[in-house]
Structure 1
Amino acid sequence: MNADVSGRLLDAVKASDELGVERSLALGADPNASLGRTHGSALAFAAGNGDLRIVRLLLKGGADIGTSDPRILSPLRHAIKGSHPAVTRLLLEQGALDREPADPDGVLADALSAVCHVPQAPALEIVRMLLAHGAHPQPGSRASLVGAVELRAAPAVARILVEAGDDPNQRRGDGTPVLVLSARRGDTAVVDQLLQAGADVDAVDAKGWTALMHAVERDEQDVVSVLLLAGADIEKANADGVTAKELAKGWQRKRIRILLGERVVGMDHAQIPRSVMGIRATGYRLAGDHGTFGRWAQVLGHAVKDLGSEEWETHTGRSVDSAIALVRRFSGEPQPVPNASWYALDVTADELSILRAALLELAYGSPGAMPVDVSRDEIIDMYEELDRRIN
């Protein structure tokens, strides 16, 4: 075949020049001309660009839909990585899946990676297509549900995989159930989907730990609630003979102990083996604009004034002087951050707990007047947002 014409074909493909591609093929250009290992064949390049019409022309001209070199991405995988569903559909209809070389990752893993790193509707559509065409993890690769959880895929991905027939009791290579992986990551929605699909709520990992035990240890309260509603066994013991209730006591998870059915809880503790390191910040850097800091100063000052010195200290365990000092800090000390559009203020964990206590009192304490232009619902939102960020 004419090398010059093939060169013009490649130039036309790179320029998305449909007419140039058509003319080059008519003049005898090689439809399998290559742009090198990185870009692959002309067909692979066009597929990666989402040029559906050029892909059709190249296929009609005799382009190879697969690749003989497993080190070079096939046209199908270029289309998947580029999140081009129309091109992917055409290649699948032409039998591209059957032409994929043996690969420990596989096209499904590529699709899961694409939908996790750039979560867009077309990428999710491609996952559906591949499953409908029978794509499965290759031997030696991660099971698809496990891979999705490890990549922190959105719950919609797990739902699609389960609907396509993935086993909700899948295990990672070390024997860890996918339910345990989801619970450890705090993926409440995925945990619920797996349970609805029939996952064993009390399945254990290699050390005999259930999803409930891991969720308790990591203070994942929402996950604990979902597992309990699914009938998780709170008396089941791990390989060390420790139950979820004992883990909650050992970690002093007061809220979780209540979820587990205890009526009276305190700061008592138990000696337990632990699988994670506890981490608690002793200081925080707050970021916001002047309006945000001013609002916090307003709310905190109102709470102190509304309760009065004695009641404030009784309810919160914090001194009035510390609270008033923090009001002054919120009002006057935030500094502009270089190369940014916000202000910052460094506070201690004790100072942040003062703000939290004020919001808690206003949100759920005795009914009283709210700060000017601030509703109780807004206070509740502020409290829950702060609580989520610091816990």
Structure 2
Amino acid sequence: MPSKPIIPTVSCTSPSPSEGTMHDFQLALDRREFSRARDMALAFADPDMRGEHGRCALHFALLYRGSGPVVEALLQRGAQVNCQSSDGTPPLFIAARRNEPALVKKLLLAGADVALRDKEGASVLHYAESANVAPLLEHGASLEARDNLGRTPLHAAVLFEDPQTVRTLLAAGADVHARDGDGKTALDLARDSGDEECVEILEQAEQGA
């Protein structure tokens, strides 16, 4: 799972736009021309247009730091906030991997569903950065959600080598003793990878549990 780029089955069924339209939109984003990308988003005949890998315009906009106005424009146009790409990824998963909780909150207020899963069975908390854990939990995300390999968000944070998120999940009540489908705890995974900081955090958590 962590090998995926930042980037669960509600689908956008609107007709696809011309390749040129999506190409121009992506080009504006690549060039960080966010004002232009925002104007394009407001003018789209179909705010749920799809590009490569079945991603909607909202997926692409969320990949770029500073693209908040583009995201807002797409939401204003009624873009489906739970649109899933071909691998089952909804926009919320992309936002969750960015250290911009304001964007996560915008998507949640727009109706983003924290219960969605991708094709690997992962939930949004499996991808969340530390700062995004609290708002996701407030909207019902589960600390003990399991992916197809039986891994919890705590296991995922270790695999992402993200000690701050490990701390945040533990502080929120994540089960340090939870075992994945191979019978391994998050501490086992940290030891396997040689992540000394995560090992120390998890050893302290196990001793205090």
Question: Is the TM value for this pair above 0.5?
Answer: yes
Instruction: Give the counterpart letter for 2:168 in structure 1.
Output: I
Indicate the SS of the match to 2:106: helix
User: Where do residues 46-85 of structure 1 align in structure 2 (5 Å cutoff)?
Assistant: none
Whether the 8 Å CA contact 1:242–1:272 is kept in 2: the answer is no
Higher RCO, 1 vs 2 (CA within 8 Å, ≥6 residues apart): 2
Given the superposition, is the C-alpha separation of residues 205 and 122 from structure 1 closer, same or farther in structure 2, using an over 3 Å criterion?
A: closer
Distance 2:65 2:23 in 1: 13
The alpha carbon displacement at 1:154 in A equals 1.0
Equivalent residue runs for 1:74-223 within 5 Å:
104-119=18-33, 121=35, 123-128=37-42, 130-131=43-44, 134-136=45-47, 137=49, 142-152=55-65, 154-215=67-128, 220-223=129-132
Paired position in structure 2 for 1:12: none
C-alpha separation in 2, matches of 1:139 and 1:114: 14
Q: Distance in 1 between matches of 2:23 and 2:101?
A: 23
- Indicate how the Cα distance of structure 1 residues 122 and 182 shifts in structure 2: closer, same or farther if over 3 A, else same: closer
User: 1: CA distance between counterparts of 2:147 and 2:107?
Assistant: 22
- Specify which structure has the higher proportion of helix: 1
- Contact 2:34–2:69 at 8 Å: present in 1 too? no
Correspondence for 2:13: none
Distance 1:187 1:170, change over 3 A: farther
2:172 pairs with 1:260: yes
Distance in 2 between residues matched to 1:269 and 1:121, nearest whole Å? 43
Q: Which runs of 5+ in 1 are unaligned?
A: 1-101, 281-391
1:270 is paired with a residue whose SS is helix
User: 1:108: Cα distance to partner?
Assistant: 4.7
Q: What amino acid is the match of 2:20?
A: G
Partner residue of 2:136? 227
Q: Give ranges in structure 2 of 5+ residues lacking alignment.
A: 1-15, 177-184, 197-209
Query: Which of 140, 146, 163 is the matching residue for 1:237?
Result: 146
Residue-pair matches, total: 166
Structure with the greater alpha carbon radius of gyration: 1
Q: Distance in 2 between matches of 1:138 and 1:163?
A: 18
Which residues of 2 match residues 275-314 of structure 1 at below 5 A?
A: none
RMSD (Å), alpha carbons = 3.7
Kindly provide the amino acid, as one letter, of the partner of residue 148 in structure 1. A
1:184 deviates by 2.8
What is the TM-score normalised by the length of structure 1? 0.36
Distance 1:278 1:151 in 2: 31
1:255 is displaced (CA, Å) by: 2.3
Aligned-residue sequence identity (percent) comes to 28
Q: 1:163 to 1:257 in 2, by over 3 A?
A: same
Report the Cα distance in structure 2 between the residues aligned to 1:186 and 1:135, rounded to whole angstroms: 29
Which secondary structure state, in structure 1, belongs to the residue aligned with residue 127 of structure 2? helix
